[in-house]
Structure 1
Amino acid sequence: MEPMNYTCENKTEKKVIVLSYLTSLSLIIVFFLLGYQIRGETIITDSLTGYTAYDIFIHNQFISLISFFGVFLLGIPNLFIIIMNFFELGNIFGAYQETYSLIGAFQKIASYGIFEIPSIVISNSVGYLLIYALYHRVVSQKKINIKYYSKYIIKMLVLTFLLNIIAAYFEAFYLNK
């Protein structure tokens, strides 16, 4: 397998990938902060009783796959996934902060979030690739490098799979202490 060439002659592919990440990160920050600010009476329990690491992994992987397939629907499902997940995460973070303190809230979420959040960012950014690739196609009048994007998407799919396994393990076993 040949290494991925990130030094494209016209750097269009790299720009498209960066724009897709910036879109995902911007939306994530906005909806996390909205969820944090609009939090209601969220009841926090430290237990995910009844959920195994496998259950959590399947859920996270399902969300990642929907996000990856969002590339064919111009990222529309990705927007809903970001709104639902990060609005709720902001809400939960605020409730953790009230219950445990700011440091305690970071500790609770960081235990699995350090793996799960990058997985969500990666899979959602892939969902926006087609929008930016088409835009650059129209602007630059150059062909879309399908081979490059296909290899990139496959590598990101494998990476999110691994991140979701690790996140599920930590979420199931750390929060169930």
Structure 2
Amino acid sequence: TFYAFGSIIAGWATFGTFRITNSAAWRIPSGLQVSPRWLVSKGRSDEAWKMIVKYHGDNNENDELAIFEFEEIQSAVNNLAESRHRGIRNDLNNLHAFIKTPGSRKRLAILVWAALISQLSGNAFVSYYLSPILASVGLKTDIQQTLINATSQMVSWFSALYFATLPGKLGRRTLPLWSLAAIWICDICITIGSALFQKD
């Protein structure tokens, strides 16, 4: 949900600055995107902790999820810093652990599969090519495109909040399988609709 929330800020910042004719039109939205991980990497852990508590811990500093996420971010940032000191040889040795045992290979396969599916969902395609997609259906003005971009990010955020509640209800295996089927159907509908629109 952090990504979606940041996208809302960036989307509305873009909508508010598209009329600016100088470089501030892109500098202002870019400057608004700050993540807890970035804050930790810059030595601003207190700010990162406050952000996590506010948005993931419901303003409760004893929230287990917030504590876990903060510790995970700190660990990741520290490990990255250490790996830079160790050099590439040690990194290659660490990568060997991914294929050393059958269990590790299965986990690696799941990681690769999850990464592929997240790209095949169509999210990146729509994000990268939103402007030409909108232009192809007649929405060509800057105000139309930036407004749709901003509001779509809000829909994404609310959707993320809702779907974050489903794994506990539907199960971790059922949810991805049904999600993939739904994405596949949506992509088919989008493809058919685009083709019919272009034909007309």
Q: TM-score, normalised by structure 1?
A: 0.31
Which structure exhibits the higher relative contact order, with contacts defined as CA atoms closer than 8 Å and separated by 6 or more residues?
1
